[in-house]
Amino acid sequence: MKILVAVDGSEFTKRMLAYWVAHEEWLGPEHTYTVLTVVQTVPSRAAAVLDRAALQAYYADEGEKTLHPIRAFLDQKNLNATFLSKTGASAGDVIAKTAEAEGFDLILLGSHGHGALGGLVLGSVSSHVLAKCKTPVLIVR
């Protein structure tokens, strides 16, 4: 199974990772994993006055801030994954489009994240992924 693991470094990401590694059915050589984080794009007016190289470095640094501890955690668990950082205005859109475009069989994500305006039952990103994506989604609370 090809699994997309969407992360933002929040407490709910940590819970989701703990769930993932504690359940044997999601582990094993028959599965491949891609860990994805989405960095919020800088508003276009601000981006227009920034040097392109500096902006790309900012996006790379922000993505690595989220991915670095997750990479270390998975290394401790002897899990191999591909790590991917993308930018976008809507994390839910980026996750859904990535899952569809790259043919993932499952999306694994936490129920809430760092978003400022979360839903009452599910976070706004989780809700958006459910609404926009045909790929099955496992949401961990």
Is there a contact between 89 and 65 (Cβ–Cβ < 8 Å)? Answer: no
If you average pLDDT over residues 69-92, what whole number do you get? 95
Domain span at 83: 2-140
The tally of domains found in the chain comes to: 1
pLDDT tens-digit map of 18-33: 999 999 888 888 999 9
Burial tier of 76 (Cβ tally within 10 Å: 0-12, 13-18, 19+):
exposed
What pTM did the predictor assign?
0.89
CATH number of residue 17's parent domain: 3.40.50.620
